Structure 1
């Protein structure tokens, strides 16, 4: 394998890994933020019932 081919392969592997990790991170972050909304809604409901 030529040096250019190796560099391209390594670059594409790094790019793909970073993209998959980034998407996973953003999905987890978004899920956590949505759950925070559920907790806030529950707290508001408890305050209204008092």
Structure 2
């Protein structure tokens, strides 16, 4: 095996290992933050980090997703209402020809 091939293989292995470790670290830190946000007891944190309460943590993730989705829908509805108000205002100033000409 040539020196360039060994260096390339080593770099690929180090990159893959670093990526995997980084993803696991991010998941662990996100899990800890979400547990602290919901004010659970230290025992629950310990049990969740050891994998016994993962369904409870996953359910809280679903609740957070639902809250984000509802907030996004409210924002879109407000933007739609604002757009309709502007359209009505502009049509009063300059009527729109609906005949297609």
Please indicate, yes or no, whether the TM-score normalized by the shorter chain is above 0.5.
yes
Matches within 5 A, 1:11-22: 11-22=11-22
Give the alignment's TM-score, normalised by structure 1: 0.76
Q: How many residues align?
A: 40
The question of 1:33 aligning with 2:43 is answered: no
Give the alignment's TM-score, normalised by structure 2: 0.38
2-structure distance, mates of 1:35, 1:28? 11
* Cα RMSD after superposing both structures: 1.1
Higher relative contact order (CA 8 A, sep 6+): 2
Q: Greater CA radius of gyration, 1 or 2?
A: 2
After superposing on structure 2, the runs of 4+ consecutive aligned residues of structure 1 that deviate more than 2 Å are: none
2-structure distance, mates of 1:13, 1:26? 20
> Which protein is richer in helix relative to its size?
1
Q: Which runs of 5+ in 2 are unaligned?
A: 41-101
